[in-house]
Amino acid sequence: MAGFLVRWLFAFLLLAATFNPTEWNFSTWVMTSGRENLSVAVLIGLILIIGYIIYMRATMRSIGPVGMALVLALVAAGLWVAFDLGWMSFENPTANTWIALIALSFVLGIGLSWSHVRRRLSGQADMDDVDD
């Protein structure tokens, strides 16, 4: 469980560092100060892209697009239940952005963790295809 939380946290930080409703994110910074700090903007952008490639590749290989859609549907259904029970409202755009970041990071965290879960449940490890 701790392993999943760490993977989910890093996915959340990756998404939130790229964009969030505050002024402290890469997208806002590049739009306001990117020209003055072009080399730094390119470096940070490449680091973020590497993070996305790692998460997306692992997620696509472990659960695939259908699995991603199912996890996202499960999160959406949970949000729907919370809304129907009056536990939350979707009237605040800032809160909606944070909810979306949490939902997307949950999908990426599940994707990066799924191979570990499958191995524990089935006793079988996932392997990449090896060309001889």
Domain assignment present for residue 47? The answer is yes
Q: What pLDDT, on the 0 to 100 scale, is given for residue 129?
A: 46
Domain assignment present for residue 44? The answer is yes
- Give residue 32's domain range: 2-122
Domain assignment present for residue 131? The answer is no
Task: Show the tokens assigned to 95.
Answer: 């809160």
Q: What pLDDT, on the 0 to 100 scale, is given for residue 128?
A: 54
**Mean pLDDT in consecutive groups of 10 residues from the start of the chain, 132 residues:** 89 97 95 93 97 94 91 93 94 95 93 77 61 45
Q: Which of 108, 100, 106, 91 is nearest to 20 (CA)?
A: 100
Domain assignment present for residue 66? The answer is yes
Count of structural domains within the chain: 1
Q: What pLDDT, on the 0 to 100 scale, is given for residue 2?
A: 83
Q: Which of 62, 69, 83, 75 is nearest to 102 (CA)?
A: 75
- Render 109-124 in DSSP notation, one character per residue: HHHHHHHHHHHHHHS-
DSSP structural state of residue 37: T
| Crossing angle of helices 38-62 and 2-18, rounded to 10° | 140
Integer Cα distance of 51 and 23 in angstroms: 21
